[in-house]
Structure 1
């Protein structure tokens, strides 16, 4: 049974810039650079027949390429931080692509995504990191300036059941434009 999600790949030059943000926080499990991505829609564990239907549905999406802007470093989890992330600007084309995938998957009977879409690249997953340590980490990396890339396609990723972080495999790619 595959575990699937859709996303945008991060170009190698931007991935290397983000990799320079690694280190300096206790309790961080840094994501491998080759696994950086922006998740559009987590699908979950599904059977092979449903996976084929998902693929056929995603092939119908027609959108133009668009610019993605990585704006800032941040964290998720508030007082109990659980991830260091690079947030992407929720520009209209990005949000509309995600919303279209959400609608298509719901029509197929896949349960709705319960979390609000917040486009980001996860850089590290945190265990036992204090909110003060995360705040210190983020303040010392205030020099991070926004980066942009052109999204030319989105992909269907598979992953093994784990606590996240890869390895991820591209099962299919869907060109934009």
Structure 2
């Protein structure tokens, strides 16, 4: 493959805080216990659980190194988050996304989000206009449901904490599960 071919290829990428395995396992256990009560068609693989910091979208392979270089410059201290129940986007009758809420040091999480946006803005990436709403997506694409989703969500796991000591650049592989691959990890210190 020639250099020109490499520059024209693109990948779908985003920056995220990955969810550690013990937290992901707890969310998976809850999901499996309640899956038949929830009207979703597409469930997130537990290895794909994350908190998005910035979605970058289709990006040339050539630009990946520049993104990594910019993200390596971010200076932030580790901080603590925890899962804190859950909810959904959309109406209870037809929810679009099922999610786990996060709590803890949200100020540091928002600061990291802003640092990522600043680091990528010089490369032409534009932040979303909607307010940052950190969460862990558990499922998408609901069928019509009854109102039991609110009741089921009241039992979502809460209170499990972890230290966020790194974030990642992730690549999406469509139509496979798990679908996210770590491109690079960036340590907080």
Offset of residue 131 of structure 1? 6.1
> 1:117-158 deviations in whole A, cap 9, x for unaligned?
11111111132243624223214x26x322110011000000
Moved over 6 A (4+): none
Look up the match of 2:184.
172
C-alpha distance in 2, partners of 1:174/1:9? 11
Bigger mean CA deviation after superposition, 32-41 or 104-113: 104-113
Determine which structure has the larger helix proportion and give its number. Answer: 2
Mapped pair 1:154 → 2:167: yes
Counterpart in the other structure of 1:46: 59
Q: Is the 8 A contact 1:154 1:174 kept in 2?
A: yes
What is the number of residues matched between the two proteins? Answer: 174
Aligned to 2:11: 2
Return the offset for 1:173: 0.4
**Residue of structure 1 equivalent to 2:3:** none
The DSSP-based 3-state class of the residue aligned with 1:125 is strand
Q: Tell me which protein shows more strand as a share of its residues.
A: 2
Q: 1:95 to 1:147 in 2, by over 3 A?
A: same
**How far apart, CA to CA, are the structure 1 residues paired with 2:52 and 2:15?**
6
CA distance in 2, matches of 1:9, 1:121: 10
Give the 3 Å change call, closer, same or farther, for CA 131–43 of structure 1 in structure 2: farther
Tell me what 2:109 maps to: 94
Could you tell me how far apart the structure 1 residues matched to 2:58 and 2:153 are? 34
When normalised by structure 2's length, the TM-score is 0.84
Rounded Cα–Cα distance in structure 2 between residues aligned with 1:122 and 1:131 = 21
The 1:76–1:165 alpha-carbon spacing in structure 2 relative to 1, beyond 3 Å, is farther
